[in-house]
Structure 1
Amino acid sequence: MMEKPSLKTRWIARRNAVFASSRFQYWAARIPFISSVARNRATQMFDHLVGFSYSQVLRASVDSGLLDLLADGPVGADHIADRIDISHDAAIRLLRAARALDLAEEAFEDGWMLGQQGAVLQADPGTQAMIRHHHLLYEDLADPMALLRRDRKEPTALSRYWSYAGALHGAAERGEETQDYSELMAASQRFVADEVIGAFSFPKNGRLLDVGGGHGEFLRRVGAAYPEIELGLFDLPEVANAAREPLGRDVGQARLTCHPGNFFEDQVPQGYDIVSLVRILHDHDDEPAMALLRNIRASLAPGGRLLLAEPMAGIPGVEPMGDAFFGLYLWAMGSGRPRTPREISEMMQAAGFTRTRTVATAQPVIASCIVAFA
């Protein structure tokens, strides 16, 4: 039985009734100041309504090679149409759509160049890999209710990709099939690493172990920022062994130790001051996530710290990334969920950590940080 409506619930119900009123909408659109708020809300709703088409303009700009052509600009629509094999009219339509998203800019009549956002994107192959990757999520979201009603053990386009890519990731050969996967992993880790390095001070002469560190992009960037810190990578044997040589070449073999193992089955290596967990916990459901946190806690001596970095739910200003994007992404993947900082802190304390603190990042849309103390 539901409790009696609180003051907040009554206020929300009254507010929603007012906002839904056509008379209020007509009035709000004509009153100074209030009209600007009304326009902003209308624009926001329109973005929600047609946002899928924005993502497809982004994908078309990447897949077609349009951004690379514009990087050599200014170029005309006929040249672009010829190079990407579409009609002149289709090229104009794509260019104008790209201009609306600041991917393209018309410097003069029929003289097209990169826009500001386009210049950033064209220079970042990792982000382009993420855009190409999203077609799998679009496939799963074609019928969102079917996705939500499915048994999470049933395969999806996204879950099949991660199973297949994970196998390739650990394979000895490195071919074209693994290129997008490697770029995708490197890009996601690079973005998070930059946020963490800007927000958290590592001990200059400490020892850092990255659990589930993959190819080692996080350690590579921390190692560059902190030349004296010792580095450890703990991941599946085939992954850790494949990372050992290229990572050691970049950070120095003398300061790197690669530990092969499974963090659900093997003990997390001991002797490190800090253990990092970068975009790992939200990939797992609560039971395995708690097992991982307990494993890490058992590896740390008193005074040791766990640094967790990942996109989180309930972060003011970036709620859509946590719950709307990652909520459905992880549901389609078949494992994990976005968690709030409070939920993660409670899990850490339940795993045996004495206390936690949040670390503010410049771009929480990319990642937020929590430090737990042993």
Structure 2
Amino acid sequence: MTHDGTESDREALDLLIRGFQVSRMLRLVADLALADKIPRGGICNVSDLATACSVLPTPLLRVLRALAAFGVFRVGADGSVAHSPRSMLLRMDEPNSLHHGARFWTAPGSWQAWGALDSALAGGDPNQAAWGMGRFQYLREHPAEARTFDAFMANFPDRRHQTLAVSYDFSGAKLIVDIGGGNAEALRQILKRFPGPRGLVFDRDDVVAAIPPDARLDGRIEVRGGSFFDPVPEGADIYLLIRVLHNWSEDDCIRILRNCRNATKPGARLLIVEQIIEPDPALGQPSGYLVDTHMMAMFGAARERTETEFGELLQSAGFALERAIETASPVWIIEAGPR
């Protein structure tokens, strides 16, 4: 390798090592909703932005200059600030916005659990090591962060909810139950496209209580509190598990799937919406492996899975994997029926 190549790799690796610094600054400006305070196509003075954000102009300028060096915002020598294509993605009104991701990935719960990542290498749970409690208990005890999580799930940059609605034919269903359905965004996307079905969100009491009436499509979406480790609602034509199984160990996944199987009537379908991880990282996408490692940081034994591993889980729970549907999003739709 030439000296130039070695130096280039050294600089690239150095920036990767210090990536946490960039992540933290992105969260800072997202928490301030700063990108929304800069007009599209317009220019602001950093002093005016600081006033709008109730912060001091000099430290804000230093943060914005650092981000501009990575192509996030444009900052002039005179302290003027304008949008770049990347900073536009931090606006909340931008399609496929990364605003919620910037706030979620480095929120206190995630940030501190990643700091204890080494405990996973000894079979531990980093979130437990960091906080003395499991991830879901942490979210229950930190409701503001839990709502940040819900907003992030509804705006996850893989567009899985929109992609699910356009990639599968829900027209024949009368009732669709979204197990662990969060703030009901998936059902809203589906029911807006398909006028026939009704929807039911089944999730923790605190989660469904946070779904306002005006987000329930004039009553087409019902909510019910409960745990997927207990019996789930019966009688649906389609059950959804959207990014649920990657939160759990093998044994827990089988328990969740068996509860779904017990509720499933003949002819009904289970749709698992997850990334399918590529065993060879030379063929996969970096974001997939980052999500896989994040699951380890949050839950210890949780992880992304290959198509073969999903098939084995389903078989253990009384389902048969019928097909895996590739979508325009990183997530796949894994369709299963009762055996």
TM bucket normalised to smaller: 0.7 to 0.9
2:90 counterpart residue number: 121
1:262 counterpart residue number: 227
CA distance in 2, matches of 1:181, 1:196: 24
1:99 counterpart residue number: 68
1:285 counterpart residue number: 249
Q: Give the drift of 1:278.
A: 1.0
2:187 counterpart residue number: 219
1:131 counterpart residue number: 102
Q: Give the drift of 1:60.
A: 2.7
Question: Does 1:246 find its partner at 2:223?
Answer: no
- Counterpart mapping for 1:181-260 below 5 A: 181-191=146-156, 192-236=160-204, 239-240=207-208, 242=209, 246=213, 250-253=216-219, 255-260=220-225
Contact 1:141 1:147 in 2 (8 A): no
CA distance in 1, matches of 2:152, 2:298: 21
Q: Which has the higher contact order (CA 8 A, sep 6+)?
A: 2
- Counterpart mapping for 1:280-319 below 5 A: 280-314=244-278, 318-319=284-285
Q: 1:320 to 1:219 in 2, by over 3 A?
A: same
Contact 1:71 1:119 in 2 (8 A): no
Q: Which residue, out of 106, 110, 118, partners 1:145?
A: 118
Among all aligned residue pairs of Structure 1 and Structure 2, give the percentage whose two residues are the same amino acid. 24
Say how many residue pairs are matched. 326
Amino acid aligned to 1:141: W
CA distance in 2, matches of 1:322, 1:159: 26
CA distance in 2, matches of 1:161, 1:208: 27
- Secondary structure in structure 2 of the residue aligned to 1:131: helix
Q: Give the drift of 1:357.
A: 1.6
Alpha-carbon RMSD: 3.5
Contact 2:216 2:222 in 1 (8 A): no
Contact 1:214 1:243 in 2 (8 A): no
Q: 1:150 to 1:342 in 2, by over 3 A?
A: closer
CA distance in 1, matches of 2:201, 2:89: 31
Structure 2: state its 5+ residue gaps: none
Say which structure is richer in helix: 1
Contact 2:73 2:83 in 1 (8 A): yes
CA distance in 1, matches of 2:47, 2:18: 28
Q: Give the drift of 1:53.
A: 2.4
Give deviations 1:281-333, integer Å, cap 9, x for gaps.
11111111101112212322333211111344327765433333432443333
Structure 1: state its 5+ residue gaps: 1-23, 30-34, 168-176
1:21 counterpart residue number: none
Contact 2:90 2:98 in 1 (8 A): yes
Give deviations 1:72-108, integer Å, cap 9, x for gaps.
74122344456553453x4443222222333212489
CA distance in 1, matches of 2:20, 2:227: 38
- Counterpart mapping for 1:29-48 below 5 A: 45-48=13-16
CA distance in 1, matches of 2:161, 2:176: 13
Q: 1:369 to 1:25 in 2, by over 3 A?
A: farther
Q: Give the drift of 1:121.
A: 1.4
Contact 2:269 2:336 in 1 (8 A): yes
CA distance in 2, matches of 1:44, 1:225: 44
CA distance in 2, matches of 1:135, 1:231: 31
The runs of at least 4 aligned residues of structure 1 exceeding 6 Å deviation read 38-43
Query: Which sits farther off after the overlay, 297-306 or 256-265?
Result: 256-265
CA distance in 2, matches of 1:340, 1:157: 30
Q: 1:359 to 1:101 in 2, by over 3 A?
A: farther
Q: Give the drift of 1:239.
A: 4.8
Question: Does 1:349 find its partner at 2:315?
Answer: yes
Q: Which residue, out of 48, 55, 68, partners 1:85?
A: 55
2:2 counterpart residue number: 25
- Counterpart mapping for 1:326-341 below 5 A: 326-334=292-300, 336-341=302-307
Q: TM-score, normalised by structure 1?
A: 0.73
Q: TM-score, normalised by structure 2?
A: 0.79
